Each structure stands twice: as structure tokens, then as C-alpha cells.
Structure 1
Amino acid sequence: MYDETIQRALARLKMQPIELPAQHLAWLVDNFRSNECQSIILTGTAGDGKTYHCRRVWLELGGTIEDWNGGEKIQRLSLGSRQLTVVKDLSELRSDESKPLIEQMAWDVADPNSPRVYLMAANHGQLLEKMKNAGTDKTTSALVEVVENLLVVGRSGNSAIKLDLRDLSRSAAAVMIDQVIDAVTLHPGWDGCADCPALNGATCPIRENRERLVGTTDNGLFRRRLGNLVEASEQNGGHFTIRQVLSLVTNIILGHPDARDGLMACTDVAELAAAGTAERASPYRNVFGGNLKPSRAERTEPFRKLNLFGIGSETSNKVDIMLVYGADDPALVETYRALVQTDQVYGETPAYKRAQQSYLEGDDPSAVARFLLEDDVTDDIGNVNGNSHWWQHFC
């Protein structure tokens, strides 16, 4: 399971984990501590944080991380006179494992005096399939009917069955993304950058991208625009799992097309600076997977969904004229300064100026493609031609 893989990696590397939001944690813990607690099913798609919620509940209620990481698919914890059974992922169970479990669960949720309660994680597609395959007796059928009602209408329709369900795929990613940004950018591991040699008179693109996500230089405008994009995508049916949000935030900070797998490590920074390509780590292109090969970005869910907006895919004469002639045109110079010149990291960089000059002088037939089409179209979030603030101000 993904969550267990991450836990093993953290233990091996002796790293402090990034504590991501668990929106239903308090409600779950309160339920299992209550005298009138009921069994809970957490459902959703892969990456919604079902197993993560289960682990957090396990730890909050007194379970140990050593037991959790022991490799068992089903964990049991004593809660006074009751026993909590935690199913990490129902889809991981073989039929000979899931059938007796579900049959017992059906009896327990129907018995108000049962000492057993359950916390079960299950993907949408597997939940009803496993339930229906468990049996057709009256008790199991009643459980299946309640689960169907909870999935479809949000009510059980049978007050005698002590069961509730939470669909984590209904959690708004537009809310989560702010929490994920804070969890990643404010992690204490960043303190290790204090002695980094890359800070000696140079700009580290990793730290620069982190600062832009934090919002210290633009009063949080970039992250608000990012949240708006995610919200608009969700309104159009593009669900973002917590895992996808984490992947998106990570790519914004570490993305660079020349780095291995498109993601920078600290050891890459000096080499990229020496090559004069550090500016290609622009977070405004990384939002759309511009650091990846197009085919890979298209296969990666958060970038596929965000690229449906077509941001950066078209330009206009007004934008082109400002970018090409704005520095010297009295009518455009203020706009140029505000949108391009003020950003010396990802806006008016030396490479940008060289490409601009080459285009104006016409000494290179390929200069037009390089300056107005090839690199710049994908450089920035919503700006079409290399201006990292265009999208921030007008999108």
C-alpha cells in the first residue's frame, strides 16, 4: 500500500514526515471514543487519503506505528470494552479474507450490544463488489443495502444498522491545496538550507519557488490563483486527490526540464546555474507540467486537468508587442516593467534579453520561434511569452 511504502521510506531515511491535512480525523476519533460509536467506511478513489486517515486514527487512539507498519492488512485495537478493527484497504484482501470479515461486520453493525466496531478503507469500485460477493443472507444483504444508500443518497435508510460512510473524493481540493502548500513549504526540513553553498550570492530556484508558493513576495497572489484554477477544474468534474495535490505542489517547487526525471535535487542547482538555465525552473510553467515531456504531462492527472484550460497556448498581438517592444515604447514601458522587468528570476532574465535582442536584430532565422513560440509559450502560468507575472495580474 502507498501509505505503508511512504512510512517505510521515512523510517529508513530518518525523516520527519510531512503532516498532510486529514479533514475527517477529529470526527473519526470522536466517534470511536464515544459511548454511542458506530462503524465507519472511508471510500473514494486511489490517493484520496483513506489509509492515511486510518493510520492517523490508529495512532490517535493509542496504536503504535510499529504495529501499523508490521505488514498486517487488518489491525485490531482495544478501546476499553470494545475492539476496533481497522481494514487498511479492502481491495487488498483476498476473497477468502474479505468474505468472513464482511459477514462478521454485518452481524456486528446490526447488534447494538456488539463489542466490535470497524474502520474500513475501500475504493469506490471495490466496496460494493466485495460486499455483494460476501454472501446473500439476510444480515449481509441488509449491510449491502445500507452501504448502497449511503453511497447514493448519503443516508442509510436503516437506523438499526450502526454504520456511517464518508466519501473522501468529495473533499474540496481547493481547500486542501492551501493546507498542502503550508505543510510542504513550512516543513522544518527547510532549515537545512541555511548552510547551503548555493545561497552564496546566487538564487537557488528550489528556494525561490518555495518562496513564491509561500507568497512572501506577492502577498499570496500565486497560490490564490492556483487555488482558483483547481477550484474551477473541480467545478468542471476534475477531481484532485490529496496525492495529486501533493504531486502538483512538489512539481511546482522542484520542476526543471533538464533535471533527472524533470525534478531538481539540491545537487543540481549549481550545475543549472553554471549552464545558465536556472530560469527554466519557473514555477509558472511547472504548474502545467512544462518541466516534463508533453506525453508524460498528458498522462499525469493534475497536469492533464489543468492543461484543459489552455493557459499559455495562445497569444495576441497586444501581448507580443508589449513583450518585444515594451522596454522602449513609452506607451508600454510601465506595463512592461510591472509584468516583466520586475521579475529578474523568471521574467526579464539575461536569456530573455538575449532572445529578445536576437529577435529584434533579425540575425537568427530561428529567433522568432525561440522567443515567441518554443520556450515562452509554456514558460509561465497564463502568460504567453515568458512574462512570469502576466497570468498573476490578468488571468
Structure 2
Amino acid sequence: MTPNPLVEFLASYGPQASSNNLYDEFVVNAAQKTGCAPLEIEQPLIDQVIKWLQELSPKSIILTGTAGDGKTYTARRVMEGIVDSGKAWGSTEKIFEVAYSPASQHTLCFIKDLSELKESEKDDVFNDICDALAGKGHNTYIICVNDGHLLKFFRDRGEKGRVLHQRIASMLRNDQQLDDDLHFRLINMSRQSHRDLFERIVEAIVSHSDWEKCHGCPVLTSQEQPCPIRKNRDVLLQKDPASMRARLKDMIRIAAADGEHLSVRQLILLTVNILLGDQKPGKELLTCHKAKNRASRNEYNVTNPYANVFGENLGERQRKQYGAFSVLGEFGVGYETNNFFDHSLLWSSSCLPVDDIYGDRIFSVYLKDYREDPSENAYRFRRAMLEQRRRLFFSLDSDVANVRDEPRQNPWNLSVFKYGATYIELANQAINTKPIPLSIVKPLIRGLNRMMVGEMTIADDRLWLTEPSGVYLGQAVPLLITHAGRKVDGTTYISFPTIEEDGKAPILRLTPLQREDLAVDLHLRPTLVECILRIAHGAMPASFSSECRRDIERFQLKVATAMNQASGEHQPQPQEISMIAGRLQNHPITALTEEEGW
């Protein structure tokens, strides 16, 4: 059997000590060494940067973001697209110039990593960079640098540098690409759409042309003992809503909205580990030879992609080194469950999706042993149940009729985000500028009311606003709303503004007395939405309450301030709230007098 060199090439991106996945140039060398075509990930930004550089007076480009977001890769592809100068990119030069003047006399100066320059080298190029950023001179810079090093570069270099430091810091905070007074574009690559990026990464890997080199391998054509690498590839090739690819895109989107950024490097590493992960002691990734051995011995339990996706082929310490596994591990997939899923697994219910390799073939052995001797085989059986729950999580569609009719069957019940599907629908509606359905708005309002007034009210047709102390603000509230976005002249109302990127959290915006300049936003992070909806449905999850309670209290304080500003001299008298039959009522507090100065 001749090994497919693509497997070795992909391993260079994987989570192993010998891999060089940290640097773009190392991966280019790995492609040349193995004879494989380079891994080309579709990046629309590349074509856009080339167009910008072809303008009559091109602006400099600063590519920033966290480590591993593809800054060097993007810059290399831009240069190759303009001058086809791949050899220059592989040189040892830290800065190199490319004569480029189709429409101007500008020279392109590429800095592969500003942080790698010595301080003396930074001093040498500082004034020229400042001139280029101000639109002076004949050099156009393409600079790759992490956020922190970019700011430090300018902050450490006198008054001239500190001015630029302040402007760039403001652009980063406000997610601005352009400054009217400066001649450069600041592109924060950490703000890219994680969801779309992951789709392109998976497609580039599973559709790589060198998979054709598996042709002729005897393991490839075996029906009973198929190659585990190809089997795992088949799992990732699926694109329908009931697939690992689709569910991972939702998880990455939720993590991003909760502030957990996954870089390009981590997403590639994750995809490779799903394909090649191996739980057998020794190296963590499969080779073609090891894959053949696993298949011949029917050891598919150690190549399970539903375990690899969480880094189960790695030791705990090693797993924690990689952001992808840490972030996905926080979802608790498989550790959460309900009676429907466990009963269906125990009794092989026909309502669950079938997997001829990673389903019954590996689970039936553990189930049989457990039934024969529960005390002896309990631990291994629990692990097998965990992996089957994970398989179901990635194999069920949360938006089909039987799941909508019976929420217990929703695969998100197998994670800590039991309302994950609701969050995704909320985010989709917000990004597509569509009205949020009442089936989402009403539970949100009910949960917010319960958190703000401290009562298990059923009120979901209006928002009862209190200060954090529980004091009702008066005649201007509650907000009389029947659906999101309804405006009545002179009233206070809530709305759900459009969000620009699917990696950002939706927003609930409260506009006091139609004073849009005083509007207050509550960012509906996935964790906060989960907390609100659990409380709306009767739970009081202690694990969420501390973090989310602070979010609600900040919102209450901001709203109280905005309402006072909007009301002006006509401040409402304090009211108290009482609950009767689950509904809220307000009453004046007569014990207080005006002289007491509430």
C-alpha cells in the first residue's frame, strides 16, 4: 500500500509536537516536501486588497488581529496575485519591496511580521511608515502585525508615534477601517465571520485534489472495514442541517457572540483533528498505515470523529493548549442529556439516526458488556454513552417537524445551550432585518421581567422596568408592547436592530420616550439568552445567575438614567410592584412624601 502524501501534509496543520502549523511559510514548505498542492482557502479579502492596491493612489494596508488569523497567508496571496513572486516571499528578508506601478509610481513594501523586527530595524522604517500612513512619499505598505505589537510600535516612538497610537487604538475599539485624515486601511482579521470562514476551511480540506491519490488503496474499497480517514472525511462532506459541519458552524457562531474567538489556525487544526485523530497511545494522528491497522482490527472506537472534535485523542494538558478544543469543550456536549435520548440509545429506537460504523458497531459491544455485568463495565459504558450522545448532537436537525412538536428531541438538549436553536433563529432574524417572532420575544420578555422584579410572573406582553433595588419607575413604564418594534407616539419602546455580522450578538434596544439619542442596548449574548429563557420556562440556573445578573443590573441602571433624562422635570413618582395570579400590578407608595426627595 502506497501512502497518500496528503495525509502527511494535513498532519503538518494538526495538534502534534512535530507540526509546524504556526507559520505560513512552514506549511508552504510542507506542501513542496510532500508534493501536494498547497491548501488554498477561499478568502474574498485577497481579491479586495488587490483591487485597493490597484487604485491610482493606493492606501497602505495594515492586517491585524490575533495570532493565527491568516495575516501572513493573506499578504502572501496578495503579492502572488499582483506580481507572482512566490520566491521572494520564501526568502529570509523581513521586509522586501516590489516595484509595482500599473497606475502609479508606488512601491509595495511588505512587512511579514512587524513584531519580528529588531528595535533598530523598527526605528529605521518608522518615519517612512508614518509618511505612508499620512499619504506622503511613494511607498505603500502592507504590514502584518498583532494588535498589541501594532500599538506598542507607535506608542514607544515619541510624540509623532503617540498621535498615531491614539488614532489606531480608537479605530480598533470602534471597528473602523478608515480614518478621514489618514491614508491607510486597518483590517482586523479577528472580526471576520467565523461561520463563513469555517465553511471555506472544511471545503478546502475535504475537497483537496490530492484525495484522488487514494485510488488503488485496498482499504478504500472495503465495505466492511473502510478506511477511517475516508470515513471521517465522509462525515465532514455532509452539508445538510443534520451534519457535523452545520452544527459546528452554529457552535462557532455562538462562541464568537460570547467573545470566544477562534483563529484560522485553530479552525484548520480542528478540521484536521476530526479527520486524523487517533486515541491509541503514541502519536495523536493517523497515518495511512495506522488507518489500515485500525480498520483491519475493527478499532473504529479510537478514530471516532465525534470524539476527535473535542480533542479526546489528546492528553488533557495537551488539549488545553489549543483554543478550539477549549471553546468547544465549554458546550458540555454529551455530558448533558435527557430521558428521551438515553432511553432511545439503550433500546435502539428507530427514531435516531443510524451510523453503520460509529453507531451500533462500536456501541453494541459496550451495551452488551454492561448488561451482563453493570458494576464491572459501568465506566466504559458511560464513556460509550457520552460518545453516542455526541454523535446524536451532530447528526440531528433541530428544525424539523417532530423536533418542533416535541422539544425533548432537540439535539441542543445534549449541550449546556438547551436553547441554542432559539439563539440561532434570533441571530438569523436580526442579521436579515426580519421581525423577531413572538415565539421568541414573549419568552424573552417574561424571563427579563422575572429577573428584574424578582417574581415568577407570567407577564410577557410588556416589559416591567425597575431599578436594581426593585423600585418601579413610574408612569412612563411598563413599556406597552405587543411585538418588537411597535412604536406609539411619545412612548417608550423596544426594538431589535439589525446586526452586521453573524459573529456578533443580537441587541435588544430600549428607546425612552422616543429619544433615540438616549437609547440603551442590551447585548443578547448566547449565555444571557440561555439564562433568560431558562428562567422564563421556570428554572433558576445558579451557574448562569451571577454573570447574567450583572448584565441585567447594568441594563437597569442605564435605563433608569436614560428615563430620568428623557423625562426632564416631570419625574414620575415611585411605585411598588405586586403580583396577583402571576400578573404584575403597580401601586403608588403613599408612605413617601415629596419633601423626602426620593
Counterparts of 1:11-160 in structure 2, within 5 Å, are: 11-80=32-101, 81-112=105-136, 114-133=137-156, 135-138=157-160, 140-155=161-176, 159-160=180-181
Matches within 5 A, 1:163-312: 163-201=184-222, 202-215=225-238, 221-258=243-280, 260-312=282-334
For 1:137 and 1:237, locate their aligned partners in 2 and report how far apart those are by CA, in whole Å. Answer: 34
Question: Structure 1's 156 and 300: CA in aligned 2 closer, same or farther, altered over 3 A?
Answer: closer
Report which of the two has the higher share of helix.
1
Whole-Å separation in 2 of the counterparts to 1:153 and 1:219 = 35
Q: 1:38 and 1:46, CA in 2 relative to 1: closer, same or farther beyond 3 A?
A: same
Q: 1:25, 1:156 → 2: CA distance?
A: 16
In structure 2, runs of 5+ residues without a counterpart are 1-21, 399-409, 413-598
Contact 1:173 1:231 in 2 (8 A): yes
CA separation of 1:390 and 1:243: change in aligned 2, threshold 3 A: same
Structure showing greater Rg = 2
**C-alpha spacing 1:380/1:65, structure 2 compared with 1 (3 Å):** farther
Calculate the TM-score normalised by the size of structure 2: 0.59
1:381 — aligned with what? 390
| 1:120-163 CA distance string (max 9 Å, x none) | 01101111111222x3254x444334322322224488534211
Partner of 1:358: 369
Partner residue in 2 for 1:330 = none
Counterpart code for 2:205: V
Other structure's SS at 1:67 match: helix
Q: Amino acid of the residue matched to residue 359 of structure 2?
A: G
1:155/1:183 CA distance change after superposition, 3 Å: closer
Determine the structure 2 residue equivalent to 1:394.
411
User: Structure 1's 170 and 357: CA in aligned 2 closer, same or farther, altered over 3 A?
Assistant: same
Equivalent residue, structure 2, for 1:346: 358
**Cα distance 1:156–1:269, how it changes in 2: closer, same or farther (>3 A)?**
closer
Given that residues 61 and 141 in structure 2 are in contact (C-alpha distance below 8 angstroms), is that contact kept between their aligned partners in structure 1?
yes
What residue ranges of structure 1 are gaps of 5+ in the alignment?
328-332
CA distance in 1, matches of 2:94, 2:388: 45
Sequence identity (%): 27
Asked whether the equivalents of residues 48 and 242 of structure 1 are also in contact (C-alpha less than 8 Å), the reply is yes
Q: CA deviation at 1:183?
A: 0.2
Q: CA deviation at 1:198?
A: 1.1
Question: Post-superposition shift, 1:295?
Answer: 2.7
Matching residue of 2:586: none
Residue range with higher mean Cα deviation, 6-15 or 121-130: 6-15
CA–CA separation in structure 2 for the residues paired with 1:323 and 1:379: 8
CA distance in 1 between counterparts of 2:211 and 2:176 reads 45
Note if contact 1:29-1:60 (Cα within 8 Å) is conserved in structure 2: yes
**What secondary structure, in the 3-state scheme, does the structure 2 residue paired with 1:54 have?**
helix
For 1:158 and 1:375, the matched residues in 2 are separated by 56
**Corresponding residue for 1:369?**
379
One-letter amino acid matched to 1:374: R
User: How far off is 1:32 after superposition?
Assistant: 0.8
Q: Match of 1:234, as an amino acid?
A: A
C-alpha change, 1:97 and 1:259, in structure 2 (3 Å) is same
The 8 Å contact of residues 287 and 381 in structure 1, kept in 2 or not, is answered as: no
Report how far residue 88 of structure 1 moved.
0.5
Cα 1:65–1:260 change in 2 (3 A) is farther
Letter in 1 for 2:411: F
Q: Tell me, in whole angstroms, the C-alpha distance in 1 between the residues paired with 2:81 and 2:221.
A: 44
> Partner amino acid for 2:355?
D
